[in-house]
Chain A
Amino acid sequence: MPKWFTPLALLCGAMLAASPLIIANAPYESQMGLVQKIFYYHMPSAWMFLLGAIVCGVASARFLATGAERHDRTALAAAELTVLFGLLTLVTGPLWARRAWGTFWVWDARVTSSLVGWMISCAYLILRKYGGPGSERLGAAVALFGMANVPFIYLSVNYWRTIHPPTSVVPTLKFSMGFPLMFCVTAFLLFFILLMAMRTRLEESRARLDALYLALDE
């Protein structure tokens, strides 16, 4: 593992451990009270979900353009993280919605497009696992379509009257709420980077092992 891994892992662990305390100290939101504090995990998860989709898309485009294996490894790792953080988002969201909107699920623009984006990343993983040889390139094409979905997810709340708050809310948050949010975003981002590093290294080792096995057969 690279030298920065352990210090960063310790920092990330400390931040994640400290986050409940920081969230507890944040002020209550006027209408929703305690339940609103899921926001401090729900939003960073959502951002990491979108980040994963973008990283996967960009890596896939580079893989299709250059054919270099390491881009494919990055794309695979990013897709897995997209599924993970997407799942977190799709679970924390309904938990919050049940209290805030009275229902677990609502077919509004952002929820629907997020679910669809998440399913695209699941489909990518299914293809990689069961598609047989050559599925790296096929998956890359799917990932590009998935990435095209991302701006649609993010901007949908601004153009459709939905029950989700629009994107203008976050930049206008007061410091007392903005700080816990940015703290959690940083913690989740560090977590994302660490997981990406570990996962790509795993794939790299696997590739090296396969190459060694093949060399042995010759």
Chain B
Amino acid sequence: MSTQGFGATVLRIVRKDLTVEVRSREVAYTTLFFAVSCLLVFAFALVREGRAPEGAGEGILWATLTFAGTLALGRTFERERQSETLRALLLAPVPRAAVYVGKLVGIVGLLLAVEVVLVPLVTLFFGAPLLKRPLWLAGILVTGTIGFAAVGTLFAAMLVRARSRDVLLPVLLYPVVVPVLIAGVRGTSALVDPVFDVAIARFWLALLFAFDAVFVTLALWTFEPVMSD
């Protein structure tokens, strides 16, 4: 049942989340700060004699994104739960899938903003020349973020009313999202390689596209039956 168009609903939800976030900036600041703290933890864990191990930067970037992303997902839906707005969204005469896509766009936007800060920091702290090929990096980061967020948004929405939701989100999310993580790290590694092999980078990018397609499709199918009860 949809009296509102799909696209209009998505835009409306994105605008709502953006408005709320711009006023308080709570999720953005806390996620950002957590991501940087996470980088510090990795730095102290891995740096030996003032230098980071070779090839550590890519892995640390994606690991930090995973942890920060999990927190951001949890916080975003916690906010919905507290104001009971999720129920309002589900009761609204709009296509359910549009609610999912709206939330997905919001989360992807937030994570991309975090990445804009993280990439230069990782380059700085760990000596990984991530910015050598910015367009390729952008492609890999965007597709990887969409893959992570596609599953994360579905699971976080699902778990809003579940018990032990804080620990269950990472427990459920990480195994499913590991392939995206692998492809993201390997794709980023291919970019910082002194000998840049386009075929390898293209392969990992294509794989990320495939994961995005599968995950978003599956999430769109399951969002409706899982959220209605």
- Residues of A at the B interface (CB closer than 8 Å) are 64-65, 112-113, 116-117, 119-120, 123, 126-127, 130-132, 134-135, 137-138, 140-142, 144-146, 148-149, 152
Residue B5, interface by CB 8 Å: no
Question: Which positions 201-228 of chain B face chain A at CB distance < 8 Å?
Answer: 214-215, 218, 221-222, 225-226
Residue B154, interface by CB 8 Å: yes
Is the pair A146, B229 in contact by a Cβ cutoff of 8 Å? no
Residue of B nearest to A109 (CB): B182
Q: A126-B168, A141-B222 are in contact. Are A132 and B151 (CB under 8 A)?
A: no
Question: Which positions 154-197 of chain B face chain A at CB distance < 8 Å?
Answer: 154-155, 158-159, 161-164, 168, 171-172, 174-176, 178-179, 182
Point out the residues of chain A lying under 8 angstroms from B222, CB to CB: 64, 140-141, 144
Query: Which of A65, A132, A144, A146 interacts with B163 by CB under 8 Å?
Result: A132
Q: Please tell me the number of chain B residues within 8 Å of chain A, measured between CB atoms.
A: 26
- Residues of B at the A interface (CB closer than 8 Å) are 151, 154-155, 158-159, 161-164, 168, 171-172, 174-176, 178-179, 182, 214-215, 218, 221-222, 225-226, 229
Complex Cα spacing A134 to B168, Å: 14
Point out the residues of chain B lying under 8 angstroms from A117, CB to CB: 175
Point out the residues of chain A lying under 8 angstroms from B176, CB to CB: 120, 142, 145-146, 149
Is the pair B226, A131 in contact by a Cβ cutoff of 8 Å? no
Residue of B nearest to A138 (CB): B158
Residue of B nearest to A131 (CB): B162
Is the pair B171, A126 in contact by a Cβ cutoff of 8 Å? yes
Query: Which of A132, A141, A146 interacts with B154 by CB under 8 Å?
Result: A141
